[in-house]
Amino acid sequence: MSSLETSSERCQELAQSLAEIQDRARIAASSDAPTLVAVSKYKPASDILACYRLGQRDFGENYVQELVDKAGQLPDDIRWHFIGTLQSNKCKTLASIPNIYAVQTVASAKAATALNKSVPSERNPPLYIFLQVNTSGEDVKSGLPPLTSVESASESELVRLAKHVVTACPRLHLQGLMTIGSLGESLASFERGNQDFETLKRTRDVLHDVLRGSSGEWGMDGRLLLSMGMSSDFEAALKAGSDVVRVGTGIFGARVQKV
């Protein structure tokens, strides 16, 4: 992998940034071992390899083709998380990546079914998925509406999708819920708590109650995981009970937007 080598200065920069984020995550975490997903969108494979050599194993990508290209160049024990908008026609390509670990942005039965059909039958364990919830209500955000109560949950899109995955998608494993909160809540979260995070927690609790009465396996040890928090608010997310945080800029630095 000589073509993936990076400068000693860049390696040192990444080592310092990654260690700082890991330390901050450990201090803020309310759970014993939160998962830190290093979001490597637009960053070169050499940066990912440098972090891999420092022990980082979970990486997140927003674009299917970028993920395919990087996965083909990098170690096969990396755990890739897809965190971009999921299109059904891209599911076959995603599922073909041998070390795709989780798809965090499932928001429709059509996408779940396409993923389930595309996952190789011999794959073990199943492909982990998170259902995306739009906790902020912003039109620009993807995801399904959150849940407010068990009584109203039976008619919700989210419950129908969760039950579909658990009962009709044997090659998928419903691991948890994911959200991308609003910028306003992110900036205010240190002062009064993040309402988007609280909404996802409430939705998780309602969905727990609904799924306990149905057959099928889901979550981890009977508990749905929460994926919430990014570079600007991951500490607040961890304090609120997040199990997975997605940090890009905090580790790799600012991204250069592709034209």
Residue 133 lies in a domain: yes
64 within some domain: yes
Contact 135, 181 (CB under 8 A): yes
pLDDT at 3: 72
pLDDT in tens, 159-198: 999 999 999 999 999 999 999 977 776 666 556 678 999 9
Is residue 184 situated within a structural domain? yes
259 inside domain: no
Residue 257 belongs to a domain: no
User: What's the mean pLDDT when you consider all of the chain?
Assistant: 92
> Does pLDDT of 256 surpass 80?
no
Q: Average pLDDT for residues 141-155, to the nearest whole number? A: 89
Task: Output 181 or 128, whichever has higher pLDDT.
Answer: 128
Residue 58 is assigned to a structural domain of this protein: yes
Asked whether the predicted pLDDT for residue 80 surpasses 50, the reply is: yes
> How many domains is the chain built from?
1
Model pLDDT for residues 44-61, shown as the tens digit of each residue: 999 999 999 999 999 999
Q: Indicate whether 28 belongs to any domain.
A: yes
Range of the domain at 25: 8-251
Q: What pLDDT does 209 receive? A: 93
Q: Is residue 3 part of a domain?
A: no
Record the pTM: 0.94
Q: What is the CATH number of the domain that holds 234?
A: 3.20.20.10
Question: For residue 191, what are the contacts with CB-CB under 8 A and spacing of at least 6?
Answer: none
- Of the listed ranges 111-125, 144-158, 163-177, the least confidently predicted one is 144-158
Average pLDDT for residues 11-22, to the nearest whole number?
A: 97
Going by pLDDT thresholds of 50, 70 and 90, the confidence category of residue 20 is very high
